[in-house]
Amino acid sequence: MIDPAHPPPATDWHALDAERALAALDARATGLDESEVAERLERFGPNALPAAPPRSLLRRLGDQFHNLLIYVLLGAAVLATAIGHILDALVVLGVVLVNAAIGLVQEGRAERALDAIRKLMDPQTSVLRNGRRVRLRADRLVPGDIVLLEAGDRVPADLRLIQALGLRVEEAALTGESIPVDKQAGAVAADAALGERGSMAYSGTLVVAGHGRGVVAATGSASELGRIGNLLGSVQMLRTPLLRKMDAFSRRITGAILVAGIGLLAYAVLVTGRRWDEAFMIVVGFAVAAIPEGLPAVMTITLAVGVQRMAARHAVIRNLPAVETLGSVSVICSDKTGTLTRNEMMVVAIDAGDGSIDVQGEGYRPSGRLLTGATELDSAALQALAALARAACLCNDAELDLDEGHVQIHGDPMEAALLALAGKLGHPHERVRAANPRIDAVPFDARHRYMATLNRTPDGSCLAMLKGAPEQVLQMCRRQHAPAAARFDPADWQRRAETLAARGLRVLALAERHLPDPSGSFGATVSAGGFTLLGLVGLIDPPRGEAREAVAECRSAGIEVKMITGDHAGTAAAIARELGMHREPTVVVGAELDAMDAEALLLVARTASVFARTSPEHKLRLVQALQEDGRVVAMTGDGVNDAPALKRADVGVAMGQGGTEAAKAAAEMVLTDDNFATIVAAVREGRTVYDNLTKVIAWTLPTNGGEALVILIAVVLGLTLPVTPVQILWVNMVTAVALGLTLAFEPTEPGVMRRPPRPAGESLLQARLLWRIGFVSVLFVTAIFSMFHWAQVRQLPIEAARTMVVNTLVVLEIFYLFSVRYVHGASITWRGVLGTPAVLLGVATVTALQFAFTYVPIMQTLFGTRGLSFTDGIAIVGCGVAMLLVVEAEKWLLDRLPRSRTTAAGQGP
């Protein structure tokens, strides 16, 4: 006997026969007694997934400030407070707090994913305890308990089945298998894949037919569902490309500002002889000018605008940076069932002896065309299939309900598809069943691989109907229904079945036998054979109609689509061919992945397009291998088995309608229409968002660079500061929100989906952008010092001169905004001048604020400003026009450089 104290590993339970499994678990067919249950509950714990202690609100809030750019902003606020610039400090702190609040709302995705998996544990289950059937909470189950299963039950723990009568279990959420799995009590091979362990019923799966009982082999985190939960908890989420780039950008700008600030302080004190406190104030002003205070807020809002646009396209974003990440996706790893396919079985082919017939239609709707080649079947041909339709209705336990155009199924999806087929053949199942009431039945059993029913016909005789695996049904037939004159050839029919199976179809054979006077056991009558073969039907979970176009658009955008599914290799390959993923897709099964080292896995991840019979670990390894290869990976899925890979991927995409809560909670994006094509629309929007982000940066950094250079040059040359720190902060915050924010609403540029994905490691600060920052900064400095000098020559008060400088700075930013909106095209066009409604509103808002800044008394007191003359205003606007002309000329020249040089300089703004 196996030592009960050392039971075999959980992965081997399916390989033990029922008696040895009971012995290994020290269990009895009549169930445990209460003392045994108490002892095991103490030893193994409750049948529930452990809940991680939640982080406190204070801890979660503190984590939002763990960012280098935020540290710089906080440091600027502290310095501003130290020198009495309270207004500066308050505005900077406001930016920091807004970003922290947004991050706090987005927190806790991993915790919610684990909570969603826990909800799959059915709270109630039927158990044998000491020979008595009792109903109790699933968390009270222990290894060795005997659980009773019936149709509609959620399996409460991992069970080694000891009895199974017509038992079928839907395991799609765990394995990705689109068809319920037949279960039996007999042992299977030790190396059987998860979806082929017919002797096991796993926690969280659903019983759709039959009944049975099993001994609890694993509970809680030791179960297969719990193991996925543990795997999900151990997966480390990668930082998105945007966050990685922003971190690198923050480090660079922080280092540059610190070095320049220290150098400026030393120069002001040691070279120009300024006092320490005066020099310190200048350095603070320099830091305020150089730091793009509004950039984090504007970038966050730009992402939020992308979120709103995607929501209108049925894509709900749960993590703001994922919007930008979508724009750089280079590989989409898609689950098959419910994502690329409808998750609805459908008969697509019939062979009744006169050749294959194609069946069209949608899902379980009992309507659709039947074609031989391009010719639709006529009424006479349909009538010849009446016997096949009758068998499809009668040898069937499913139900179809049509309620206001919606079809709801009850029972096995394959049987529901047969009812839909009967409707397409002109024989509604309700009418057929009413005319042929059932007398007896032999339920489906994995051992004999068929189902049979006995029905009373309208003429008073009896008719036995048979449905099952072709190789089994053919052995029980002696003749065929059509063509009646042909000799029945089982070998020929077997070849026909194999032809259908080669298309990735699930094949069933249907037969009938007239019994004028049935006597004796119906089961014995069926097993005696003598049936007439009616034909073969081929079923498949068909691809979504729009998925082919979506896959084609992905390929034109340079995005690979790889199918990763738990379904059969043949079925997956057939769907891949129909979707146009590859004419002859390379298919790799999970068992092959197990034998691969990291190098071999990387090669297969690059080249193969279909991965079948995969486990959660396989999906996770494939995502990791693609990421190590430098790819930005989007992973789609709907089941619990997809959750770890969804969490690990750069963008996890869950199905909102048919997906499990665990998948939704682990993903960054949820599709409310479960439409693969929506992912393509989301990628397009993601690329638009990235374009707009680069425009924001291209507009923000030169303005900050110009302000910082003004202070730096003034100190080096011993000049009076043309602008104060608080005035610089006013410009940064007002224009960043009212002007920079308008770039978030820029529409998609033409050809955005005809260019390849951006490399994952591509820097935000490309060569052309760095040139633009330097070039425009010099233009800003030139204009500012020119206006300041002109005011001094006219002997205007220092307050009026600085007011002219601030207004010049704002006008320069307005005109530069019109140039930035078009990266490669000219901005001096009617379309460019008119702008978008957001741009016009932003310009009007800034203009009104600047009038208030210049002329309202309280603003003059706060910011040290003075009113300006009409002539001053004309000169300021003239500076803006001149700068736009110069920048457009620079753009025109760069666009006409040889392609090799512009490519080397970077194609971004």
Catalytic residue ranges: 335
Which residues, at least 6 apart from 128, have a Cβ–Cβ distance to it below 8 Å? 29, 30, 31, 134, 145, 146, 148, 213
Helical segments of 465-568, H only: 470-475, 490-502, 522-527, 547-556
| Cα 838 from Cα 741, distance rounded (Å) | 9
> Is residue 724 a contact partner of residue 278, using CB atoms and an 8 Å limit?
no
* Secondary structure of residue 133 in the 3-state scheme: strand
Instruction: Say what angle helices 68-82 and 86-105 make with each other, to 10 degrees.
Output: 150
Record the tokens describing residue 366, joined without a space.
């009992």
Interstrand relation of 651-655 and 669-671 (parallel, antiparallel or unpaired): parallel
- Calpha distance 337→572 (Å, rounded): 10
Q: Please give the structure tokens belonging to residue 384.
A: 């010849």
> Which sign, positive or negative, has the C-alpha torsion 307, 312, 313, 315?
positive
- Contact in structure between 647 and 322 (CB atoms under 8 Å): no
DSSP state, residue 64 = T
Structure tokens at 112: 């919610």
- Is the preceding omega at residue 702 within 30 degrees of 0, hence cis? no
- Angle subtended at Cα 396 by Cα 392 and Cα 402, rounded to the nearest 5 degrees: 85
- Assess contact for 79 and 17: CB atoms under 8 A: no
Length of the chain: 909
Neighbouring-strand partners of residue 507: 538
Which pair of structure tokens corresponds to residue 571? Answer: 């079925």
Q: Residue 511 half-sphere exposure, CB side, CA atoms within 13 Å?
A: 27
Token readout for 474 is 């053919």
Q: Is 334 helix (H, G, I), strand (E, B) or coil?
A: strand
State phi, psi for 463 to the nearest 5 degrees.
-135, 125
**What distance in Å separates the CA atoms of residue 428 and residue 430, rounded to the nearest whole number?**
6
Q: Look up residue 353 and give its DSSP letter.
A: S
Q: Are 272 and 718 in contact (CB under 8 A)?
A: yes
Give the number of other CB atoms < 10 A from CB of residue 423. Answer: 23
Backbone angles phi, psi at 506, to 5 degrees: -85, 125
Closest by Cα among 591, 649, 676, 636 to 232? 649
| Locus of tokens 């197990």 | 594
Q: Is 363 exposed, middle or buried (CB count within 10 Å of its CB: 0-12, 13-18, 19+)? A: middle
Q: Note whether 414 and 508 are within 8 A (CB).
A: yes
Residues 6+ apart with CB under 8 A from 405: none
791's tokens = 């005011």
